[in-house]
């Protein structure tokens, strides 16, 4: 995982690298400023996000096999949806940089996601699906 290490400053445009040790767990400090325009998270932050994603996935699959004794299907679905939303958020916010990028991207994408959810859930509701 050599490339996960902080970058070499071989291009003039780039910012000063931040040592991994200096990067706290919070995203605020897991971010370096580049070009003074917007911030880029570091590779170590990505790894942490990926670990979180892996753990969540493992837990999701775990619920399938163990079906968490005594939980009703509804409770299980709520839990799965919660984990799904969390994973979705992690990828979108960190890997797709929405947390660090211009707010307009965030608005555009969230509008699409929310619209899709509202519209299609309304449609299924009209079918008395739930």
Partner 1 sequence: MADVLMSEAQTTDEAHHSSTGLSNEKLAMWVFLGSECLLFGGLISTYMFNKDRIGPDDIGPSDVFDIPFTSVSSFVLLMSSLTMVFAVSAITRGDLRSNRIWLATTAALGAVFVAGQVYEFTAFYSEGLGFTTNLFGSAFYALTGFHGAHVTIGIIMLMSLYVMSLRGNLTSERAETVEIIGLYWHFVDVVWIVIFTIVYLFPQ
Partner 2 sequence: MSITQRTITDPATIGTEDKLALPAGPAVATRPLGVFSRPQGSEGWTSWLFTVDHKRIGIMYGAAALFFFLVGGAEALFIRLQLATPNGSVIGAGTYNGVFTIHGVTMVFLVIMPMAAAFANYLLPLQIGARDVAFPRLNAFSFWCFLGGGVLLTSSIFIGGWFQNVPDAGWFNYAPNSGVLFSPHKGVDFYAVGLQITGIASLVSAVNLIVTVLNMRAKGMSLFRMPVLTWMLLITQFLLLFALPVITVALFLLMFDRLWDANFFNVAAGADPLLWQHLFWIFGHPEVYILILPAFGIVSEIIPTFSRKPIFGYHFMVASGIAIGFMGWGVWAHHMFTSGMGPLSVAAFSVSTMFIAVPTGVKILNWLATMYRGRLRFTTPMLYAVGVVSMFTIGGLSGVTHSIAPSDTQQTDTYYIVAHFHYVIFGGALLGLFGGFYFWWPKVFGYMLNEAWGKASFWIMLIGFNFTFGPMHILGLQGMSRRIATYRADEGFAFWNMVATIGSFVIAVGVLMFLWNVFFSTRAWRRAGKPDVGPDPWDARGLEWMTASPTPEHNFDTDIEVERFDDFWHRKYGRNEQGRIVRAAKAEDIAHDGSNTNVHLPSPSYWPLVLGGGISLVGYGLIFNLWIAALGLVFLVGALYGWCLEPADDPDAVHSHGAGHDDDDHSDLHSKPVAAEASHAEPDPDPDSQNEAVSSG
Among 65, 66, 70, 128, binds partner 1 (CB under 8 A): 65
Count of Cβ atoms closer than 10 Å to residue 41 Cβ: 20
Backbone angles phi, psi at 31, to 5 degrees: -130, 135
Instruction: Say how far apart CA 81 and CA 110 lie, in whole Å.
Output: 17
- 92 near partner 1, judged by CB under 8 A: yes
126 binds, among partner 2, partner 1, none (CB under 5 to 8 A by kind): partner 2
Give the residue with the Cβ less far from partner 1, 27 or 96. Answer: 96
95 binds, among partner 1, partner 2, none (CB under 5 to 8 A by kind): partner 1
63 binds, among partner 2, partner 1, none (CB under 5 to 8 A by kind): partner 1
Structural element, H or E, at residue 83? helix 73-90
Any idea what DSSP says for residue 28? T
């Amino acid at each position: 995982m050599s490339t996960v290490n902080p970058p070499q400053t071989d291009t003039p445009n780039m910012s000063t690298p931040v040592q991994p040790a200096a990067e706290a767990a919070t995203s605020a400090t897991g971010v370096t400023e580049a070009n003074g325009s917007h911030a880029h998270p570091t590779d170590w932050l990505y790894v942490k996000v990926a670990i979180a994603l892996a753990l969540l996935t493992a837990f999701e699959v775990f619920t399938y096999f163990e079906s968490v004794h005594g939980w009703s299907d509804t409770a299980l679905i709520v839990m799965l949806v919660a984990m799904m939303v969390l994973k979705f958020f992690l990828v979108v916010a960190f890997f797709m940089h929405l947390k660090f990028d211009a707010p307009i991207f965030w608005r555009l994408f969230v509008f699409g996601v929310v619209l899709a959810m509202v519209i299609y859930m309304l449609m299924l509701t009209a079918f008395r699906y739930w």
